[in-house]
Chains A and B, each alone.
Chain A
């Protein structure tokens, strides 16, 4: 298993603890007395400099967890501390860069005006507001939309406006809930580049997403939640992740197709020079590839059928999800 402790600090004693979820639970109660457990006994530590992904199927409790982390919802049990303060206390003192899953900005406001308002509330000085707003408008490619009313923006542009307001201040903590929802492929890639640029030793970033590929690329660790419970915390790096027995890779060859079965006897022909092979360790895969290359075969690409994270996710929440 590539599961790692729920405390990154256990692995890296030097990094300072920033966010701590202590046995957090949330139960929604209806007027009729029915109750639903949205989050249960959730404990996790997030350290400075880390990008933590939060993954889970629909209704797993990701958004409830984030709402509690921002102090918008009170946990039924447990506590959430940010830099030793209660979540709400911390945010009221310092602010946080937050992109919500639902972008709720008054539709009558103009895009630039909305950013100026948020910048004012964020405590950016009057003299710096235009510079800072101009910066995020350029960063998120909103220049041609700056005078449009929010209601006139497309889903993708609204998403970018939401991200722009989260980046107005140089925040120590960023919380991004489904950040690429509605973005086209170009802006999805641009978003990933922006997050990489935002990574720095004193900044902590939380990203909740359905998109496992995105989390695999961006996050250092991913907390997998299902039915309100933390199922496991996964390190996304291959170096910490022994392959699950029987991992499949798709190998694409540019030449030497007839030699594939000499090295991978069980290889399945997927057409167009692509073969699906099953290995049990990275060492076995690398040895076989070296053998192929040694025989003069040109290997064009080797891609795992499922990422480490995807394998872990499927194990944690079940194949049915």
Chain B
């Protein structure tokens, strides 16, 4: 109980680490890409921006917003476990009465809170430009993508030293392979079904950010895939040596 309380208190330090090491780069990305893009669009489109989901701009906004979420998750989970291993920080951290599995599980959720908070900033700014933009829907989408993509990133961070490259490769590779073979009816199409469900993202982004609803199976597929890899990451963390 006392150990759990100590670890819970340490979450404040983990959140501080998130802010300085991950939150600041995410916010810079949000401002440079998201906000600046939207302001330029508003200046170019004028009153059409206010037309909401009927506007042709809406698709562009959705695309930019969902891409920013994916990049933010990539930044947030990059090195979440592997940095401590690569740089040897685990030595002093885990000579204390701390369970590494609980430590990193807690850090994963602290980063989730941080990503959602960062996206709250972005969505608040977007709402000033696009009044029909729903902050709640966008944050739900962010949380979903964090679990789906972050769960895989967490596993890769336990399993490899080059986790962000691996995650980007898995994410992009899945997209390409699904585009190439997903529609066919041979063994390859069956095989690509095992890959991360990145093909669901556009549809879920459209429906969840736009209307606040999405197909339950799509959401469960994304959540389940990420959660499964997150749990696999925790199991691997328990059984793999902390030192290389």
Contact = CB atoms under 8 A, between A and B. Distances in A.
Among B7, B20, B96, B98, the most chain A Cβ lie within 10 Å of the Cβ of B96
B10 interface: yes
Contacts of A108: 20
Contacts of B32: none
Interface stretch (A115-123, A249-257, A278-286, A302-310): A115-123
A210 to B, nearest CB: 19
Contacts of A97: 95
Interface stretch (A70-78, A134-142, A193-201, A227-235): A70-78
A165 B87 CA distance: 18
A123 B98 CA distance: 9
A94 interface: yes
A95 B95 contact: yes
Contacts of B92: 98, 100, 104-105, 118, 162, 165
B243 A94 contact: no
A74 B241 contact: yes
Contacts of A117: 10, 13
Nearest to B8: A120
Given A72-B90, A104-B92, A118-B92, A123 B10 contact: no
Given A98-B92, A118-B92, A123 B97 contact: yes
Contact of B243 (A72, A96, A165): A72
Interface string B147-168: 0000000000000000000000
A102 B96 contact: no
Interface in B83-103: 87-99
Contact of B10 (A74, A100, A105, A120): A120
Contacts of B88: 100, 102, 104
Contacts of B95: 70, 91, 95-98, 166, 175
A290 to B, nearest CB: 51
Nearest to B242: A72
A94 B97 contact: yes
Interface of A: 67, 70-74, 91-98, 100, 102, 104-106, 108, 117-118, 120-124, 126, 162, 165-166, 175
Q: Give the 8 A-B CB pairs with smallest separation, nearest first.
A: A104-B88, A98-B95, A95-B97, A72-B243, A121-B96, A123-B6, A100-B91, A72-B242
Given A72-B241, A92-B97, 4 more contacts: A71-B242, A97-B95, A106-B87, A124-B6
14 contacts: A72-B91, A91-B94, A93-B97, A96-B95, A98-B91, A102-B91, A104-B89, A105-B89, A108-B20, A121-B93, A121-B96, A121-B98, A123-B97, A124-B6
Interface of B: 2-3, 6-7, 9-10, 13, 20, 87-99, 241-243
